[in-house]
């Protein structure tokens, strides 16, 4: 298992994402082996989170997240293989209950296409380096989203138009 962390937001940006999400479930598609962004979002106040990654260290990540929330809230972690079927079932006919995050997808077109498909009518935010937008999103329409805070590498936040 590879432990690589690409997106490193500061506390203010994490708080802004949680505020932006409001009462929606935050779904981090490609959350990484230890769901580090979800940990930061829980610290910033997120109560309902879902993490999805093909290399997820489920037991370690769940234990950390459970401890951060003192066992309160709703935490779900899944391998990428069940992305489309299970998440769609969880959200049912109300996908607007979720905010999907796609942070630094590393030009993984299947992951990007899967996130766009499974998010349905729910809002999907792409967070990536300006130099990677064309390669990652190709012909996908998007609009910029401005949130307080920043990240180590100066990523931009874009709302995918569907």
In this predicted model, what pLDDT tens digit does every residue of 41-89 receive, in sequence order?
Answer: 999 999 888 888 777 777 777 777 777 777 677 766 766 655 555 666 6
Q: How confident is the model at residue 16 (pLDDT cuts 50, 70, 90)?
A: very high
Cβ burial of 149 (10 Å; 0-12, 13-18, 19+) is middle
pTM reported for the whole predicted model: 0.84
Cβ burial of 31 (10 Å; 0-12, 13-18, 19+) is buried
């Amino acid at each position: 298992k590879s432990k690589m962390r690409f997106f490193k937001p500061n506390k203010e940006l994490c708080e802004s994402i949680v505020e932006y999400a409001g009462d929606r479930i935050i779904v981090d598609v490609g959350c990484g082996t230890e769901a580090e962004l979800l940990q930061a979002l829980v610290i910033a106040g997120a109560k309902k989170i879902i993490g999805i990654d093909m290399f997820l260290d489920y037991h370690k990540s769940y234990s950390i997240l459970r401890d951060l929330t003192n066992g309160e809230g709703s935490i779900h972690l899944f391998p990428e293989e069940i992305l489309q079927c299970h998440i769609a079932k969880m959200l049912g006919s109300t996908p607007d209950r979720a905010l999907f995050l796609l942070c630094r997808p590393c030009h993984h077109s299947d992951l990007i296409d899967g996130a766009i498909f499974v998010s349905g009518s729910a809002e999907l935010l792409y967070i990536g380096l300006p130099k990677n937008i064309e390669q990652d999103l190709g012909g996908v329409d998007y609009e910029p989203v401005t949130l307080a805070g920043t990240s180590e590498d100066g990523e931009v936040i874009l709302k995918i138009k569907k």
